[in-house]
Amino acid sequence: MTVVVTSKKELVVPKSVRRKAGLKDGDAVEFKVSGRIISIFPKAPVAPSKDDGYTPAQRRVIDAGLAKAQEDVKAGRVHGPFTAKEAAVFCRAAREAASQPENLTRASMRVVLSDRALFAIADAPPPVRKAFSKQLAFLERPAPSFAPS
């Protein structure tokens, strides 16, 4: 791809090149010159940034949820980790089991997904992600109380 140097002596890296290189706004790059060849390298970050895009209030809610999830893991109140396929099978079986009369009382649970499953879900079309979220919400909802009359 050819780029022209402007009178301001600036080079604009085309969007398609930035996307292929994985460069985002604010990323630092380093120039190396060898003769008439200019190489551009992404500069490694010095330290992880605390600015992850969440407000302090959102970060507190997220951290509290992660702490609660960690407690559930330590107490054994989890199922998983799952691959995306295993999670779908588990959700389907849990939904069918919950519909049986003998299983009307149950405890709420936390579901832990493997990174691979999370990435697979993240790449899924929005309707699939929505359906999967509904299934997880079903599994994690508070247990209903059915007292015999």
Distance CA 43, CA 123 (A): 28
Q: How far is CA 18 from CA 14, 23, 33, 44, 96, in A?
A: 6, 5, 20, 16, 47
Distance CA 107, CA 69 (A): 15
Same structural domain for residues 88 and 69? Answer: yes
Same structural domain for residues 70 and 112? Answer: yes
Q: Is the pLDDT score of 33 beyond 80? A: yes
Q: Which domain holds residue 123?
A: 56-140
pLDDT of residue 111: 65
Q: How many domains does the chain have?
A: 2
Same structural domain for residues 36 and 105? Answer: no
Same structural domain for residues 28 and 81? Answer: no
Question: Among positive and negative, which fits the CA dihedral 35, 40, 41, 47?
Answer: positive
pLDDT of residue 124: 76
Q: Between 62 and 49, where is the model more confident? A: 62
Residue 149's pLDDT band, with cuts at 50, 70 and 90, is: very low
Same structural domain for residues 110 and 37? Answer: no
Q: Is the pLDDT score of 65 beyond 80? A: yes
Same structural domain for residues 67 and 135? Answer: yes
Q: Model pTM greater than 0.85? A: no
Same structural domain for residues 21 and 88? Answer: no
